[in-house]
Homo-oligomer: A and B are copies of this chain.
Amino acid sequence: MAKPLEYGEDVLLMEVGKDRTFLVRLEQGQALHTHRGTIAHDAVAGQPEGTTILTHTGHRFLAFRPRIGERMFKVRRRTQIVYPKDAGWLILALDVRPGMRVLEMGTGSGAFTILLAQLVGPEGRVYTFDRREEFLENALANIARAGLASRVEAQVLTAGAPFPVSDVDAAFLDLPGPWEAIPATYGALAPGRPLALIVPTAEQLKEAVRVLTETGFAAVEVVELLERRVLVRQREGVRPSERMIGFTGYLVSARKCVSPQGLLSQDAPGVEP
């Protein structure tokens, strides 16, 4: 059976018919003060997910457990975060699955780390690195709030330094100058496994692709994603939103190539020497 919302849990309170949402941890006796009135946490605790709650001024809010993408948006930000539209693409590019061991360089605010940790499951592991301790501290607080701390190992590391892990199943780079981390990432990845990265400019994209190729990555693919909201109003009609995000970054995916393990006859087709 579905569990009711409980004290100690994070709950997303969403004003009905609006985009505005609040992520609150339910605590006895506490209240959320919004521009639309106050909601007592005690009115939320014990209710099933999806319940409509009224503020003291009678405005309606809905109470949901946050989805992982909503958590990503609600992390305390010290840096730019990976957008959900890009995050979904990256999950497929990195072939994330339960039990996997993933490396991340550029923890930032931990938004993507949270998604990775969610998807690798309790048997998986996310090794995340950032050169700035204060970013890592903030990110770890965000990860802990999401209840995913036990799946994440975080460490301060300079871009370019070798990673203290090996044979990881996938690697994601989100840092200024990602090319500096590419050789070390090659070293840490298991043969054939995917790397993905995100860069903001055409120049950085070119440099990243150049270093990928030189380091021994192949199957390089680059895309950008445009997400447009569509407004569906029964009376006024269906139309795309007038405003949209134009660009969040170039997304790159590639796979580690290796030298052949054995030697083959030169006469027959086979592995390139």
Contact = CB atoms under 8 A, between A and B. Distances in A.
A69 B93 contact: yes
Contact of A270 (B53, B89, B91, B271): B53
> How big is the A interface, by class?
35 or more
A88 interface: yes
A58 to B, nearest CB: 8
Contacts of A262: 46-47
B191 A50 contact: yes
Interface string A231-272: 110101111111111111010000111111110100011111
Contacts of A107: none
A49 B97 contact: no
Interface stretch (A130-138, A155-163, A202-210): A202-210
A8 interface: no
Contacts of A209: 232, 234
Contact of A67 (B40, B92, B190, B264): B92
A54 B88 contact: no
A175 interface: no
Interface of A: 1-2, 4, 14, 16, 37-40, 43, 46-58, 60, 62-65, 67-69, 84-85, 87-93, 95-99, 115, 118-122, 167, 190-194, 200-206, 209-210, 218-232, 234, 236-248, 250, 255-262, 264, 268-272
7 contacts: A2-B193, A51-B260, A52-B257, A98-B122, A222-B229, A222-B231, A243-B243
